[in-house]
Amino acid sequence: MSPSAHALAATAFAQDPVMPRTAVETRFGTFEFDEANTLFMPCGPLGFAGHRHFGLANLPDPKLGAFKLLQSLDDAEVSFIVTPLELDPALIPAADLAAGAQSVGFDPQTADPVLIVTARAEPEGTKLSVNLRAPILLDLNRRLARQVVLGNADLPVRHAINGPQA
């Protein structure tokens, strides 16, 4: 994630009318969002088409610094934990990301990909994975986000990642 994406998440704009300051009570605590740290998703994430306004924030626990909260501003019950692809850019070939960015009208050079993180309880403990096949691309200049399904069938929807260390 570019330095500007980190700044967006740290400060707590939509294509729609200017977003008033909004406090959202989440499972991670209360977060405040305003035009400085909101994104508009014209189509919503997969399975959540009606959710188009999101805030991006850092999680309060410093051990979770690699993760961000993508919080729906349309429904406080809907949120996603995401992680920037920049932590391991080799996971998705650059050509696939460029094709995905172009398919939604984003500049491949400035699109910031984030990956949705899934946590599953298993007998050995909680396992984390990311969906490499359908990243969310951020266009921070326009405050837009689009989830794209990449054409590369070799990209897994459940790629295991390491969680935060205690």
Instruction: Give a yes or no: residue 132 inside a domain.
Output: yes
Instruction: Give a yes or no: residue 44 inside a domain.
Output: yes
Specify whether the CB–CB gap between 46 and 40 falls below 8 A.
no
Instruction: Give a yes or no: residue 136 inside a domain.
Output: yes
* Cβ neighbours for 55, distance < 8 A, ≥ 6 positions apart: 12, 22, 24, 31, 33, 37, 38, 39, 69, 70, 71, 73
Looking at residue 114, which CATH number applies to its domain?
A: 2.30.290.10
Give the pTM. Answer: 0.83
Q: Confidence band (pLDDT; 50, 70, 90) for 50? A: very high
- Tokens for 78? 């809907």
Name the percent of the chain lying above pLDDT 90: 58
pLDDT tens digit sequence for 71-85: 999 999 999 999 998
Bridge partners for 1 per DSSP: none
Instruction: Give a yes or no: residue 166 inside a domain.
Output: no
Cα separation of 50 and 54, whole Å? 11
Domain that holds residue 26: 3-161
Instruction: Give a yes or no: residue 134 inside a domain.
Output: yes
Amino acid 65: pLDDT = 85
Amino acid 2: pLDDT = 55
Name the percent of the chain lying above pLDDT 70: 85
Task: Write the secondary structure of 18-55 as one string of H (helix), E (strand) and C (coil).
Answer: CCCCEEEEECCEEEEECCCCEEECCCCCCCCCCCCEEE
Amino acid 44: pLDDT = 92
Instruction: Give a yes or no: residue 25 inside a domain.
Output: yes
Instruction: Give a yes or no: residue 61 inside a domain.
Output: yes
How many domains would you assign to the chain? 1
* Element (DSSP H or E) covering residue 139: strand 136-139
pLDDT tens digit sequence for 110-156: 999 999 999 998 888 889 999 999 999 999 889 999 999 999 999 99
Cα separation of 97 and 17, whole Å? 30
Cα separation of 31 and 82, whole Å? 16
Instruction: Give a yes or no: residue 97 inside a domain.
Output: yes
Cα separation of 7 and 115, whole Å? 18
